[in-house]
């Protein structure tokens, strides 16, 4: 089994000991069981994506327990078919990751194995299949480095204001990039967000009290609330982009299917 998992890791582009999106403490490096579970989930996801006939999906993982906010998934990216140089293809994931809990983030291209390498809260993958038109337009962006990173904004907060520009969290980058793919007139984050509003996107409102906000701000460099409108913030209303809200919006707006879910013990 371990040999099979190792072969799978090499095939799907696993990069050993990558820290992006995780703590950089040595004690937090993934353990063997974590790696094996992540690779099994990646393999099942790969097989399902291959069988689907799709070229682009919006893929999510459950890296954190967000049940107290009634959320199931924590992070999403674009999984897409990339040419392998021999006439075939490989599946890659383009997504934004925060480095070691710091105040900045970067865009990464990874294999499915690395996408699920985190010590996941729940061994579950979910994805929405965009319509054919959305897939075609997204793929052009995903394969082009300059277009894929055009709206990337390095300053990061895990709870950045959905309609703000001071920070940008991972899911926020994803839907702003989707907006740019769909709307040629979206030439800035402002206009991308205007398109999202026009298409009816509604962020998740998290109820976070002042004590929790203060504690998170003091203990975590990648958490900030100062970009949220004062009236909303002081009434404990934090509007941010979540996977669950994106999945619901894609289906509601006719841009994608109901989520496909793969679970494993």
Instruction: Please provide the DSSP assignment of 173-225 as one string.
Output: HHHHHHHHHH-TT--SHHHHHHHHHHTT---EEEE--HHHHHHHHHH-TT---
Determine the length of the chain: 265
pLDDT at site 25: 58
pTM, 2 dp: 0.89
pLDDT at site 28: 57
Residues 33-81: tens digit of each pLDDT:
888 999 999 999 999 999 999 999 999 999 999 999 999 999 999 999 9
pLDDT at site 30: 62
Torsion of CA 249, 143, 22, 155, to 10 degrees: -80
pLDDT at site 29: 58
Positions of the chain with pLDDT under 70: 1-30
Residues 166-192: tens digit of each pLDDT:
999 999 999 999 999 999 999 999 999
- Measure the CA–CA gap between 248 and 259, rounded to whole angstroms: 9
């Amino acid at each position: 089994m371990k040999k099979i998992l190792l072969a799978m890791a090499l095939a799907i582009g696993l990069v050993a000991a990558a820290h992006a999106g995780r703590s950089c403490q040595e004690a937090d490096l993934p353990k063997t069981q974590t790696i094996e579970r992540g690779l099994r989930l990646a393999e099942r996801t790969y097989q399902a994506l291959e069988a689907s006939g799709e070229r682009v999906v919006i893929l999510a993982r459950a890296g954190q327990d967000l049940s107290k906010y009634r959320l199931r998934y924590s992070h999403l990216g674009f999984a897409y078919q990339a040419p392998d140089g021999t006439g075939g293809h490989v599946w890659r994931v383009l997504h934004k990751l925060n480095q070691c809990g710091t105040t900045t983030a970067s865009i990464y291209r990874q294999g499915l194995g690395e996408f699920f390498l985190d010590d996941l809260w729940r061994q579950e993958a979910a994805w929405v299949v965009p319509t054919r038109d959305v897939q075609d337009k997204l793929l052009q962006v995903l394969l082009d480095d300059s277009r894929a990173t055009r709206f990337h904004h390095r300053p990061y907060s895990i709870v950045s204001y959905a309609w703000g520009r001071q920070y940008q969290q991972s899911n926020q980058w994803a839907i702003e990039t989707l907006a740019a793919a769909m709307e040629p007139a979206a030439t800035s984050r402002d206009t991308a967000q205007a398109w999202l509003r026009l298409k009816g996107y509604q962020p998740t409102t998290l109820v976070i009290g002042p004590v929790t906000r203060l504690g998170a701000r003091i203990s975590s460099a990648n958490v900030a609330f100062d970009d949220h409108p004062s009236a909303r913030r002081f009434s404990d209303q934090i509007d941010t982009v979540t996977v669950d809200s994106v999945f619901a919006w894609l289906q509601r707006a006719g841009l994608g299917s109901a989520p496909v879910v793969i679970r494993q013990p």
